Amino acid sequence: MHITQINTLMNVSKVEFGTSGARGLVSAMTDEICYSYTQAFIKYIQARNQDSIKTIAIAGDLRDSTPRIMTSIFKAAKDLEIDVINCGFIPSPALALFGIIEKIPSIMVTGSHIPDDRNGIKFNTPSGEITKKDEEGIREQNITINPSLFNHEGEFIEQQKLPSIDLRAEKLYLERYLTFFAKDSLTGQKIGVYQHSGVARDIIPKLLESLGAEVILLGRSEHFIPVDTEAIRDEDTQLAKKWADEFNINAIVSTDGDADRPLISDEKGQWLRGDTIGPLCAKILNAKYIATPISCNSIVELSEYFKEVKRTKIGSPYVIEGMQLLADKGYKNIVGYEANGGFLNHDQIESEGKFLSPLPTRDALIVIIALLQRANKLNLKISDLLKELPQRYTFSNRIKNIPTKESKLLLQQIKQSFVNNISNESLNFLRSHLGEITHIDTTDGLKIHFKSNYIIHLRPSGNAPELRCYSEASTEKEAIKINNTVINHVASFFN
């Protein structure tokens, strides 16, 4: 037997906490590493709760590596004499909801939108997604490993087998929407479902049809496709326009890999921005208070629909903390959303005598259904819904394969040069192309505000070696143009 601390394993394995759980290369996420992280999580939960944990629920996305990692989690729990409910391959929010209802912890195996050579483990307490404080507690856990379980590559010596799939979590997730939205609320709508390799690809059609919609199934893939709702692939943009024209549909809907981020297009196949559909969903649900990351569009303040907007760092744990800060003031009707479109509701939502239970973790389906039923109820096109908001446009892109350390160094140099009024190549470039800088927000990365009303936000990704660039302007054309300008300039430093 040997004892180790999770912090040490993270440093050695490079499987580290990002904005949504622990993630890393599949090659680094060995059976032993995943087993160890699971035991650390369970021990942390046991230490935090007075009542001993007897059961956990697990689920996963459709990546090739997911079943193996789920097996490692199952074995780790079993060795701690914890029963495991295998919920199968279902959305992350479906698993979290099940854990909340059953008052048990849950663990989701997913890399969300990142490529198939990477994966991750998302931990949920009995009350929902872990916070940054919980992460610290997990990191500090000491665990005891039996080396006889693993070979030199960290693989199990004896083959493990998962328990049979329990369908209760999927059923509860569907019931959440079917009891809140009227069963005919989508009657007359023809909706395309871009299935690709998303774990909700069969659940979404089932839900839409139950609400009265005609469903067209599109683009199913047996190979994992890394659909990122913040940086939509050119091929997905072209496919949506082609499908919209070919099938004459009202909208196309989809999600990322684990269905906590939505994709929804208008009738022309134009994908909508996550930080545009977030405020729309909040308005439809009559939310009064919003928590949202610093990267999101300023539409939410400019609309004046909400009593207070709490800006946070990027990542659902920070949005959850932001919602809690609003709740601590005694507020009700609190929701959160992210630039990727993921939507969270802190407390119960009521509409026409029906209630939607709290779900303080990112969810995709609530946004999809809320917008579709709103458009249908008012006999509007999806594009018409956007006219309810101020005309402010955002665009995002990323530079891949940039070490986080190098990204942070570049941003630190820009910040210090601005604060100290020192000449800097990047600052000079930005001023010459975008105009005078009024101020820089360092809540998370660098959000640079210009007198021209342009906004540029640069931030290293928390999940991958990428530098993300968000831009905001008064027109979509301008937002794309300034984003490309900045991306090309910054990329030149790393070529």
Q: What DSSP string describes 219-251? A: EE-SS-----TTS--HHHHHHHHHHHHHHT-SE
Active site residue 407: no
Q: Which two tokens stand for residue 15?
A: 């499987």
Within 8 A by CB and 6+ apart from 112, the residues are 20, 61, 120, 256, 257, 258, 260, 261, 463
Residue for token pair 């990542």: 315
User: 3 forms bridges with which residues in the sheet?
Assistant: 144
Residue whose C-alpha is closest to residue 95's, from 260, 320, 300, 251: 260
Distance between alpha carbon 9 and the CA centroid of its chain, in Å? 25
Confirm if 88 and 167 have CB atoms less than 8 A apart.
yes
Letter string b/e over residues 25-35, b meaning 16 or more CB atoms within 10 A of that residue's CB: ebebbbbbbbb
Given the residues 112, 254, 265, 461, the one annotated as active site: 112
Q: Specify the 3-state DSSP secondary structure of 464.
A: coil
Cα–Cα distance measured from residue 324 to residue 332, given in angstroms and rounded to the nearest whole number: 11
Confirm if 69 and 37 have CB atoms less than 8 A apart.
no
Active site residues: 112
